[in-house]
């Protein structure tokens, strides 16, 4: 999970995942989307995303085609949902405990 979170921390990698979310794209087409980034840099970003299991790679002759791996994104979503829900529950527990202490100190109001 840490690898996926670190990979998605970089804005260009998030954009790459968005590009290949609904369709398979060649690395060259992905690189063409980023006018200010070298193909080599995009290749490195794709490698990070592949290592994090956020994209899959398929070879077609000399081309490399990439597609998002929704199952990994679903795992990440579940992790973040649990993390967020757990945080809210802890916050609720702290707030309720503070309210109980306040009522014990001032039972009239």
Q: What is the pLDDT of residue 85?
A: 81
Does a structural domain hold residue 89?
no
Range of the domain at 11: 2-71
CATH number at residue 18: 1.10.10.10
Does a structural domain hold residue 18?
yes
Name the nearest CA neighbour of 20 among 62, 72, 61.
72
The total number of structural domains that make up the chain: 1
Q: What is the pLDDT of residue 82?
A: 84
User: Which whole number is the average pLDDT over 37-41?
Assistant: 94
* pLDDT tens digits along 46-98: 999 999 999 999 999 999 999 999 999 999 999 888 877 877 777 777 788 78
Residue 109, pLDDT above cutoff 60: no
Does a structural domain hold residue 87?
no
* pLDDT tens digits along 5-22: 999 999 999 999 999 999
Are 76 and 6 in contact, with CB atoms under 8 Å apart?
no
**What is the reported pTM?**
0.76
Return the number of other C-beta atoms located less than 10 Å from residue 79's C-beta.
13
């Amino acid at each position: 999970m840490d690898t996926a979170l670190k990979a998605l921390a970089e804005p260009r990698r998030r954009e790459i995942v968005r590009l290949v979310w609904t369709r398979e794209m060649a690395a060259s087409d992905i690189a063409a989307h980023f006018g200010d980034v070298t193909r080599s840099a995009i290749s490195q970003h794709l490698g990070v995303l592949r290592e994090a299991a956020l994209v899959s790679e398929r070879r077609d002759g000399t081309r490399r085609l990439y597609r998002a791996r929704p199952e990994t994104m679903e795992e990440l979503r579940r992790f973040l949902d649990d993390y967020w829900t757990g945080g809210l529950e802890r916050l609720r527990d702290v707030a309720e405990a503070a309210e109980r202490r306040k009522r014990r100190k001032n039972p009239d109001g």
